[in-house]
Amino acid sequence: MKSLVDMFDLLVKPSPAQKLFLAAVRASMESYFGADRRRVDHALQVCRYAEELLTYIDADPVLTLTAAYLHDIGIHEAERKHGSSAGNWQELEGPPVARTILTQLAAGDELIEKVAEIVANHHTPGAVDSPEFRILWDADALVNFAEGLASKTDGQIETILHRHMVTEAGLRLARSRFLADSGDTEDGR
């Protein structure tokens, strides 16, 4: 069976230049968060789920993965300025940091603004009507659910997933990961 990375490369077909750019975004995110491994690991997990969802959903992979790497980039500023990492503060403080990082990487203005818009709304359901936003929403939820659903019954989990997930692929993936008998195949397809 092919690995997820192989499937992503085979189905999404990012160019070498796109892969290089995304590697630079990842490195910048890791540098920005520094020793905060929890935030780095969260972003990397969100990206892995976003890559998987991109194999099912037609969306711009560079925009999607850039937003996935940078979606929580405002956490440190939110904590510093507001004493809180609450979603509303992340949405406020994240876009300027994302813009700075992407400007330093010589990203185009359109990409910078689209990423900033997603970062500015990533805790607000339905705030941005795009497949890239929906993929990020579900990928972030998949990571967050790993901790939050542990004490729930299958019935409760099913209700939460149906209420929260916004893509069919994300729902299938969540069901395969979090329900004992989801009826889906092992890889969520």
Q: Which CATH architecture has domain 4-178?
A: Orthogonal Bundle (1.10)
Q: What is the pTM of this model?
A: 0.90
For residues 94 and 158, give the distance between their C-alpha atoms in angstroms, rounded to a whole number. 32
Q: What is the pLDDT of residue 183?
A: 55
In three state form, how does the secondary structure of 121-159 look?
CCCCCCCCCCHHHHHHHHHHHHHHHHHHCCCCCHHHHHH
Q: What is the pLDDT of residue 5?
A: 66
Q: Which ranges of the chain have pLDDT less than 70?
A: 1-5, 181-189
Q: What is the pLDDT of residue 4?
A: 61
* Structure-token pair, residue 145: 């659910």
Q: Which parts of the chain fold into alpha helices (H)?
A: 4-12, 16-33, 37-54, 61-70, 75-82, 87-104, 109-119, 131-148, 154-164, 168-178
What's the DSSP call for residue 53?
H
Domain boundaries, the chain: 4-178
